[in-house]
Amino acid sequence: MKNTVFTGAATAIVTPLTADGVDYPRFGRLIDWQIEAGIDAIVVAGTTGEGSTLTDAEHKEVIRYCVERVAGRVPVIAGTGSNDIAYAIELTKYACEVGADAMLLVTPYYNKATQQGLIQSFTAIADASTKPCILYNVPGRTGCNLLPTTVAKLAQHPNIVGIKEASGNISQIAQVAHLCGDNIDIYSGNDDQIVPVLSLGGKGVISVLSNLLPAETSKMCHDYMAGRTAEATAAQLMYLPLVDALFCEVNPIPVKAAMAAMGYGEDYLRLPLTPMEDAHRETLLGLMKEQNLI
């Protein structure tokens, strides 16, 4: 059995941006609030953190700043994956040097690697890392599906300890659990499948929802793991409308609107992302009011 990076809920944290760059004062305040609310880990510069449109310098500085601000209170998982594997290795080495606790490695996007290409790519990054690595399978965004048999091969690497599974395919996730056993920790990558993934032996979720509801998302996971399955299931179903609203447009468009409404940054995104459509925003803010978030 490998060491587990975290159990419960990790927030795939937004990166507050303005036209002038990263808004570090608001970013720091958001990090502090997440930890004070009881979140179990923070994922920085991932999809939700708009890592793909941060400059190289910003990407590194956002990771360094997050590690420094968290100051060991919870694990920090750095988004260092890329479709350019040499760059992913560079980012991974940097994140290790500045003290990130683990890496999140997305499947190469656009290139659409073969399964053998994925094995070689993730192995090369994991070989370069001095910290644990969590694979990230999100074929709806990358056009590349990390198959269970491939995960099982990669799970033999001592530095590859987990997978964020956002395929939405519960049967595929079950196959990963069956083939890998204790060789890999499984995290839900979809907020509408937290409890289903936990029921397959998952260790938690890497969450967008927890940007808004860190305490509640963490509690859902820990309730399930403590045997309070009815409570966890009730929470999963109660938050489904809010989750749907957070994904009615491509992530992180809705969550940036939500966090702006809560005072954690401007509703500012970099192209090709654009602010949320008015009708969708009205629905999202209405649901947030029901949860007393605004």
Selecting among 60, 131, 153, 164, the annotated active-site residue is 164
The helix/strand/coil state of 228 is coil
| Contact (Cβ atoms closer than 8 angstroms) between residue 51 and residue 45 | yes
Domain 8-226, CATH class in plain words: alpha beta
Residue 236 structure tokens = 């999963």
Selecting among 60, 65, 136, 256, the annotated active-site residue is 136
**Could you report the per-residue pLDDT of 41-55, keeping only the tens digit for each?**
999 999 999 999 999
Mean pLDDT of the chain: 97
**Could you report the per-residue pLDDT of 76-104, keeping only the tens digit for each?**
999 999 999 999 999 999 999 999 999 99
CA–CA gap between residue 54 and residue 44 (Å, rounded): 12
Sign for the CA dihedral angle at 122, 89, 211, 217 comes to positive
Does pLDDT of 1 surpass 80?
no
CA–CA gap between residue 14 and residue 133 (Å, rounded): 21
Split at pLDDT 50, 70, 90, the class of 157 is very high
Does pLDDT of 114 surpass 80?
yes
> Tokens 């310098």 — which residue?
57
**For this structure, is 164 an active site residue?**
yes
The domains of the chain are located at: 8-226
**Could you report the per-residue pLDDT of 166-190, keeping only the tens digit for each?**
999 999 999 999 999 999 999 999 9
